[in-house]
Amino acid sequence: MAASAAEPPAGGTDSAQGEGLSYEVSPPVDQTKAAPWYNQNLTLIGSKDISFGPRPNDDIYLEYEYFGRKGPFELYGYIDVPKILGIGNSHDSGAWDKGSPLFMEHEPRISIDELTGRKLGFGPFKEFYVAFDWIYDNGHNRDGRANTLYSGFGTDIETHSRVNLSANLYARRQWENYGAANENSWDGYRAQLKYIVPIDKYDNGASLTYIGFTNFDFGSDLHDQAGPARTANATVATNVLLYSFTHLRFMAVGRYFHNGGNWKDGTELDFGDGPFKGRSDGWGYYFGVGYQF
């Protein structure tokens, strides 16, 4: 069924507008933990002008994050509870007001080098992976729900500097997508670049790190299926400053959206509550305080 201007927006009023910050940074190994390779954080995050749909969301939500490497398995993921304090703008809904009670993303990679017992890297490419990215929004109803799997290959890249660089290239399998026209189809691709730069360490035991990643989605059929309000391409570029102690963490994030959620910026839309002009380009911001354990 083709999407219409009256459909709920991707990441709209019933969605968590998630896609986490992916700000994993390897801390000093705590040998007292049951699994020293496995790291966990709990963070309270405030967000403003987040444009995964045509109406930017403000929210305060709770995020559980995990990351680590064990043998060939590299793990990263998070689970969000949207609007946990009941605070958000008029387009935001969450666990307590018939919105999404849960938004999650899991990004495992499996080392092909370790599975085969061979060093397959060459030139600047240090190691190769089978890579996945599963995003699930458990919306209040079907039109508020999304289920997306990206699958493909990844690599770590030698920069001969302090910069840690990795890249992934995925194909997208779209199941539920807030009622959009590309549901239950293979629809497009994602190129992803992640970069981490340690900035400084301080006498009080803290460290400052820059973490960034860019997702470029391309090749979607949404523009052809649903009309000029939707786009074939979308870009999200995330920039994180993380100030962290062994356990306590503070972060400030600037995230730039272009065609966020495959919505064309400036399009005249009406979702049943009056016409408005979509805003899917521009900056959004996050601030958070968390505890690593």
pLDDT, position 125: 97
* pLDDT at 273 (0 to 100): 83
Query: What does the pLDDT read at residue 287?
Result: 98
* pLDDT number for residue 249: 97
Listed residue (23, 1, 19) closest to 11, CA to CA: 19
Residue 166 · residue 194 · CB < 8 Å? yes
Quote the tokens at residue 174.
Answer: 């779209």
Percent of the chain at pLDDT exceeding 70: 88
List of the chain residues with pLDDT < 70: 1-35
pLDDT at 206: 97
Q: What is the pLDDT of residue 174?
A: 97
DSSP state of 16: -
pLDDT of res. 88: 82
Write out the two tokens for 132: 């996945």
The residues pairing with 256 across neighbouring beta strands, listed in sequence order, are 237, 283
pLDDT tens, 21-43? Answer: 655 544 444 444 556 889 999 99
* Contacts of residue 274, Cβ cutoff 8 Å, sequence gap at least 6: none
> How much is the pLDDT for 3?
32
Task: Supply the pLDDT for residue 6.
Answer: 29
* Res 271: pLDDT: 86
For CA atoms 77, 83, 88, 92, the dihedral sign is positive
Alpha helices in the chain (DSSP H): 112-116, 222-226
Q: How much is the pLDDT for 79?
A: 97
* pLDDT on residue 5: 30
* Residue 263 CB-half CA count within 13 A: 31
Q: How far apart are CA 156 and CA 193, in angstroms?
A: 10
pLDDT tens-digit profile of 58-83?
999 999 999 999 999 999 999 999 98
Distance CA 158, CA 77 (A): 24
Rounded to whole angstroms, how far apart are CA atoms 49 and 58? 6
